[in-house]
Amino acid sequence: MGDGRFQDNLQGLFDPRAVAVVGASGNPGKLGYHVLNSLIQGGFQGPIIPVNPGSGEILGLPTFPSVTAYGGEIDLAVIVLPAGQVAPVLEGCIQKGVKGMVLITAGFKEIDDPEGGALQSRLAELVRAAGVPVIGPNTFGMVNLHKNLNASFTPEFSRAEKGSIAVVSQSGGFSHLLAFMAMGQGVRLAKVVGLGNRLNVDFAEMVPYLIEDADTQVIVLYIEGLDHPRALMDAVEAGRGKKPIVVLKTGASTSGDRASLSHTGSIAGKQEIYEGALRQAGAICVRDSEDMLDVAQALSVCPLPQGPGVAILTAQAGPGMAACDVCEAEGLHVVPFRAESQASIDALLPPLAIRTNPVDMGPAWYSSFAIRGIVETVMDAEEVDGIILLMMFASANRTAVSDLSDVLYERRQKKPVVTCLVSPPGIWDGVVEKLGEARAIVNLPTPERAAKVMACLWRYKKMLKMKPGGKSGRY
């Protein structure tokens, strides 16, 4: 699918001038209603064309009996019709010059009926000859937040904040999970794409497109099964070093493999083989949805560390110990400070504090000068490649995060700064949110998650230094 016409049409699919909804409905009990509503609520600026031969107007928009009956150009058609009605609609869209389609409809390769697979094959041949990319079938749709394009049946996707992380998933449910998690954690997204059964747009087509996409900085792939694994490995390797590609591959269990086949019509395959091949190609493999979002967020904000040496700055001893355990298990070094750095920290903390790495800043709660000085010292320390800053709220340290804000803004990610700043609702939330928006920190809810993310940043840096095909550890 690498020909120029297909790639041009793929651009038109994600950045259309006009969108038609074939099967649009004014009945909230039908998916055609929710797709049309998503486009309207999402704020799409171009013409939205409901297509339904039985209606004159839907949701205040004039309705047309077919895509060919509309007088203007249509770049994207979202199709919400029973499977048996899809083929002639695809032919009409091709005749109209539609550049791309989203096929919400289920009832193809994923069903336990050979006719479903045969119908999907006929549709694939039809669009292949025309060079028209199709997202789906059996998909929730797709969202391009930077273009206010919500071509899905879930209007709430438009609540996500615009950012630089693109999510591509075989599973609509997993797309919803990651997007809603992102909303809750303040993670900003660029696109969310549900590939479904992958008629002619698979991961191997999406990766090169997103590598060139100006709105995307980090690519996230959720994979259940692959029909053409070599094509994906080649695409990932071709993009090596251009943009991070974070992958979660599920289906390791026997029951997971069966679920993949019934879900999107693909065998999940041998987990270890897939993960090994993806790592060798240059992907970052993670093991769960939490890690996936944490790592993607950090990669979209932080510079990569130049080495494995970390400084752990903690307001309480316990969280610091938990972070140390993860750092050592994940290949990071909680480095001894050089004499010059240690002398600066010693001058800022009383002797009763633990002043070596990890640094216990608890005795400095009441001194903004001291905690600022400690952060500045480790930022400047040559032996420190990354900083993990941990602080749990206590009434005595109420102003500590605000006191640190200036130095975090001033030294914005001079080195990767990953934090765990936790308070009851309404105390530090606003300050932490502003620091995150300014890309001064990446804040995570536990010390362990903060340490795991820092370790992943280092492993990715190491991988980029290696020749393609070399071993690069778990990630």
pLDDT band at 468 (very low <50, low <70, confident <90, very high): low
Beta strands in 210-301 (DSSP E): 218-223, 245-249, 284-286
Q: What is the mean predicted confidence (pLDDT) over 245-253?
A: 84
The DSSP bridge partners found for residue 62 are 57
Query: What are the structure tokens assigned to 31, written together?
Result: 């998916």
Task: State residue 342's pLDDT score.
Answer: 96
Task: State residue 121's pLDDT score.
Answer: 87
pLDDT, one tens digit per residue, over 198-244 is: 999 999 999 999 999 999 999 999 999 888 899 999 999 999 999 99
On average, the pLDDT of the chain sits at 91
The percent of residues in the chain predicted with pLDDT above 90, rounded, is 75
Least confident of 17-21, 101-105, 260-264, 339-343: 260-264
The amino acid occupying position 61 is L
CA 442 to chain centre: 15
pLDDT, one tens digit per residue, over 157-189 is: 999 999 999 999 999 999 999 999 999 999 999
b or e along 243-254 (b: 16 or more beta carbons within 10 Å of the residue's beta carbon)? bbbbbbbbbeee
What φ, ψ does residue 170 adopt, rounded to 5°?
A: -75, -25
In DSSP notation, 285-339 reads EESSHHHHHHHHHHHHHPPPPSSSEEEEEESSHHHHHHHHHHHHHTT-EEPPPPH
Whether 475 shows a pLDDT value over 50: the answer reads no
Q: What is the mean predicted confidence (pLDDT) over 279-293?
A: 94
Q: What is the mean predicted confidence (pLDDT) over 252-267?
A: 50
pLDDT band at 94 (very low <50, low <70, confident <90, very high): very high
In this prediction the pTM is 0.91
CB 53 within 8 A of CB 81: no
Task: State residue 108's pLDDT score.
Answer: 75
Task: State residue 466's pLDDT score.
Answer: 78
pLDDT, one tens digit per residue, over 123-142 is: 989 998 899 999 999 999 99
CB 363 within 8 A of CB 353: yes
The strand pair at 442-443 and 76-79 is best described as unpaired
d(Cα 82, Cα 80) in Å, to the nearest integer? 7
pLDDT, one tens digit per residue, over 25-40 is: 999 999 999 999 999 9
Q: Tell the burial category of 179 from Cβ atoms under 10 Å away from its Cβ (0-12, 13-18, 19+).
A: buried
pLDDT, one tens digit per residue, over 338-386 is: 999 999 999 998 887 788 999 998 877 778 888 899 999 999 999 999 9
Whether 474 shows a pLDDT value over 60: the answer reads no
Helix ranges (DSSP H) in 15-162: 31-41, 86-96, 114-130
3-class state of residue 40 by DSSP: helix
Q: Tell the burial category of 106 from Cβ atoms under 10 Å away from its Cβ (0-12, 13-18, 19+).
A: middle
Q: What is the mean predicted confidence (pLDDT) over 309-326?
A: 95
The strand pair at 48-51 and 245-249 is best described as unpaired
The amino acid occupying position 16 is P
- Going by C-beta distance under 8 Å and a sequence separation of 6 or more, which residues neighbour residue 353? 359, 360, 361, 362, 363, 364
Question: Could you tell me which of 296, 315, 398 has the C-alpha nearest to residue 354?
Answer: 315
Domains of the chain from N-terminus onward: 1-134 (3.40.50.720), 160-301 (3.40.50.261), 303-465 (3.40.50.261)
pLDDT, one tens digit per residue, over 448-464 is: 999 999 999 999 999 99
In DSSP notation, 166-182 reads EEEES-HHHHHHHHHHH
Higher pLDDT residue, 51 or 109?
Answer: 51
Higher pLDDT residue, 196 or 107?
Answer: 196
Task: State residue 471's pLDDT score.
Answer: 53
Query: What are the structure tokens assigned to 407, written together?
Result: 């130095």
Task: State residue 260's pLDDT score.
Answer: 46
3-class state of residue 134 by DSSP: strand
Q: Report the run of H or E that residue 344 belongs to, with start and end.
A: helix 339-348
